[in-house]
A and B are shown apart, each in its own frame.
Chain A
Amino acid sequence: MSAEAQGQTARLTRLALMTAAALALHVAESWFPVALPGVPGVKLGLANSVTLLTMLLIGPRDALAVAVLRVSLGSLLGGGAMGFAFSIAGALLSWAAMAGLRVLFREGIHTVSVSVAGALAHNAGQLAVAVIFSGWYVFSYFPALLVSAVATGAAVGVCVGLVRRPLERARRAQ
């Protein structure tokens, strides 16, 4: 097998692994809706952590592929067309914000900050879809969604930060 083909196979395997992990988190997360009084649809954003992890370990392009695949497959498993519209808007905006910050600041930004920005963008995307379907009054959720995005984004960022280093070491050791 040529070195190029080997590289292709390695990339395919890594992407498949990341997508599988993201999909598992995506589905598991939908089983545990976070019930906050007066605020619907708050999620931890665990699936988004894989998008961020892929971005840090492999690159933004592959992270986009993982995010889109995860949302598409996740909607087939549950959620339907409406769930897809919400998830894809959130995932794409979140990816754009995180990739943008990585390009802008390179290593001059912490994983936690990237994650918080991703969570904020994710909620903004979902809110935009909700506005399209329901009207402007859903904006009353905005303050609560902001606060929850900061909290969940920071939590996910800490997790990704903890996982990132060992994974990088493991890859260098190969």
Chain B
Amino acid sequence: MILTRFKKGDLFVAVVTATLLLAAGAAALIARAGAGDPVAIVIVDGAAVDIINLRDARAEERVYASALGTCAVAFEPGRVRIAAADCPDQVCVHTGWISRPGQSAVCVPGRVAVVVRGDRAEVDAIVG
């Protein structure tokens, strides 16, 4: 009843959606290929303050303070997460563990972010 007939407008939306999906998929693949070791970059108030190679990371928790709040970031061998934040929405905490290049946990209200990149990727391109 709902998907009775494929109309012109549906084709338009399907083509736009498919193009976006393909572009995003290609971009993700390119970003991942040849990226090297996963490296966690901690960004506070728009500036990278810590860069940690996750392959040889020790299990530890570090607390970062920005102009707008504080975030506790937990490191483990191969992965990282925002363990606690004093922001109201807790979206960054719910993001959970991240480990692959391209993933990130962002505390938007607190202006703290943890980004995983490959160690061969340009750091400046991420922070700028």
Residues of A within 8 A of B (CB): 33, 35, 37-41, 80, 82-83, 101, 104-105, 108-114, 116-117, 120, 130, 133-138, 140-143, 146-147, 150, 157-158, 161-162
Contact = CB atoms under 8 A, between A and B. Distances in A.
Interface of B: 1-3, 7-10, 12-14, 16-17, 20-21, 24-25, 27-28, 31, 43, 46, 88-89, 91-92, 94-98, 102-106, 108-109, 111, 113, 115, 126-128
Contacts of B3: 110, 112
B9 A105 contact: yes
Given A37-B96, A135-B46, A143-B25, A158 B2 contact: yes
Contacts of A40: 91-92, 94-95, 105-106
A137 B8 contact: no
Contact of A39 (B7, B24, B89, B95): B95
**Main secondary structure on A side of the interface with B:** helix
Given A135-B127, A143-B24, A101 B9 contact: yes
Contacts of B91: 33, 40-41
A137 B46 CA distance: 10
Contact of B43 (A105, A137, A142): A137
